[in-house]
Amino acid sequence: MNIVLTGGTSGLGYRTAQVLGKEIKNKIILVGSNKQKGKTSIDNLIKETLNNKISFIQCDLSSISEIKSLADKLKKFKIDILINNAGALFFSRKESVNKIEKTFALNHLSYFILTNILLKYKVIKTGGRIINVASGAHRGVKVDFNNLEMTTNYNGWIAYKKSKLCNILFTKKLSELTKKNKITVNCLHPGFVKTKFGKNNNGIVSLAIKFLMNFFAISVEEGAKTIIYLATDDTVKNITGKYFYQSQIDEPSIFAQNKKDADLLWEESLRIVKNKGLTLI
Ligand SMILES: NC(=O)c1ccc[n+]([C@@H]2O[C@H](COP(=O)([O-])OP(=O)(O)OC[C@H]3O[C@@H](n4cnc5c(N)ncnc54)[C@H](OP(=O)(O)O)[C@@H]3O)[C@@H](O)[C@H]2O)c1
């Protein structure tokens, strides 16, 4: 199997690569923004799995041009499984190189852009699987189409929650479009998992998250199970457009089931990237 795994250099992504890499026929490409972390990850993963078909491509997934060049590099492959997993929380408002609010750019638009380019160039095989790592944090918010990038009243936690809601709406819409190609698209909540998540923020925020993780989070081995289940289990091969938790279909919030919002998010995402010079469809 050819597997592309964004954010494979740490936390849930790394654990997923460890397990999928043990299947020696799997070829895994990890994507991350930090070159050194990428190198260390593949060295360690190859030692741990004895699978030397694990490689790394550096890409800042909040940058449209970097996603384009990543997709160019991936065009020569036929991908069986795409796992959109890279994500972060930005407690204070930041913008990407394209001047797009960074939570939205990284957590939603990177999934949207990379997947659409790969589909456009038929890089994902018929029968392939797309897995979007969302979060239970999507509950309790609604997408505000008048302030998608939170130019006013920015709150990092709310921005994160909304971006994870976008992952579910994106899954819903995309799954309809890929039915004809027999490519499934599902998303999941891994649980509250002890990882490096949140460490990119200032000391106090990062310490608070670390504190909560020490007391309440599950292990990365436990958290990654649903990603691995969606990637490998035969029972899900014909299931598409669903939200999973603990390897079971779960019901996301009412806002995550809103077809109109899924359509609107799709149209807005297309419009935003087009304004930045990228026509996807
Ligand atoms: N941990 C939890 O409790 C939890 C709960 C629900 C959902 N999730 C979701 O799980 C996913 C993985 O999170 P995690 O907990 O495993 O966090 P993590 O340990 O911080 O890992 C994040 C991964 O994303 C990559 N990444 C971050 N920014 C990037 C960028 N600009 N470009 C490319 N790659 C980038 C990182 O690599 P580089 O540093 O090299 O860029 C790293 O490999 C996220 O989507 C998160 O929203 C996590």
Question: What residue spans define the domains of the chain?
Answer: 2-192+220-275
* Whole-angstrom distance, CA of residue 276 vs CA of residue 270: 10
Q: Which atom of ligand 1 is the closest one to the Cα of 84?
A: 45
Give bridge partners of residue 2 from the DSSP assignment.
Answer: 27
Q: Which atom of ligand 1 lies nearest, measured to the CA of 37?
A: 40
Q: How do residues 33-75 score in pLDDT, each as one tens digit?
A: 999 999 999 999 999 999 999 999 999 999 999 999 999 999 9
Residue 56 Cβ inside 6 Å of ligand 1? The answer reads no
Span from the CA of 87 to the centroid of ligand 1 (angstroms): 4
What are the tokens at 250?
Answer: 């779960």
Q: Are 108 and 134 in contact (CB under 8 A)?
A: no
Task: State if residue 11 touches ligand 1 by the CB under 6 angstroms criterion.
Answer: yes
End-to-end CA distance of the chain: 27
- Reported residue count of the chain is 281
* Under-50 pLDDT residues of the chain: none
Say yes or no: CB of residue 63 within 6 Å of ligand 1: no
**For 244-279, how does the pLDDT look when each residue is reduced to its tens digit (9 = 90+)?**
999 999 999 999 999 999 999 999 999 999 999 999
Question: Within 10 A of 229 (CB to CB), how many other CB atoms are there?
Answer: 18
- Answer yes or no: is the C-beta of 109 below 6 A from any ligand 1 atom: no
Evaluate: CB of 195 within 6 angstroms of ligand 1.
yes
Whole-angstrom Cα Rg for the chain = 17
What does each C-alpha distance from 94 to 150, 151, 198, 237 come to in angstroms? 11, 10, 14, 38
CB of residue 113 inside a 6 A radius of ligand 1: no
For the purposes of burial, counting CB atoms within 10 Å of the CB of 93, is it exposed (0-12), middle (13-18) or buried (19 or more)?
A: middle
Instruction: Decide if 133 contacts 167 (C-beta within 8 A).
Output: yes
State the closest ligand 1 atom to the C-alpha of 133, by its place in the atom list counted from 1. Answer: 45
* Alpha-carbon gap, residue 54 to 9, rounded angstroms: 11
Q: Please report the pLDDT score of residue 90 as a whole number.
A: 97
Asked if residue 34 has its Cβ within 6 Å of ligand 1, the reply is yes
- Side-chain half-sphere of 49: how many Cα atoms within 13 Å? 26
3-state SS string for the chain: CEEEEECCCCHHHHHHHHHHHCCCCCEEEEEECCHHHHHHHHHHHHHHHCCCCEEEEECCCCCHHHHHHHHHHHCCCCEEEEEECCCCCCCCCCECCCCCEHHHHHHHHHHHHHHHHHHHCCCEEEEEEEEEECCHHHCCCCCCCCCCCCCCCCCHHHHHHHHHHHHHHHHHHHHHHCHHHCCEEEEEECCCECCCCCCCCCHHHHHHHHHHHHHHCECHHHHCHHHHHHHHCHHHCCCCCCEEECCEEECCCHHHHCHHHHHHHHHHHHHHHHHCCCCCC
What are the structure tokens assigned to 196, written together?
A: 């490096």
* Choices 3.40.50.720, 3.30.428.10, 3.90.1150.10, 3.40.640.10: CATH for 2-192+220-275: 3.40.50.720
**What does the pLDDT read at residue 3?**
98
Closest C-alpha among 60, 68, 80, 76 to residue 6? 60
Cβ proximity of 211 and 184 under 8 Å: no
118 lines ligand 1 (CB under 6 A): no
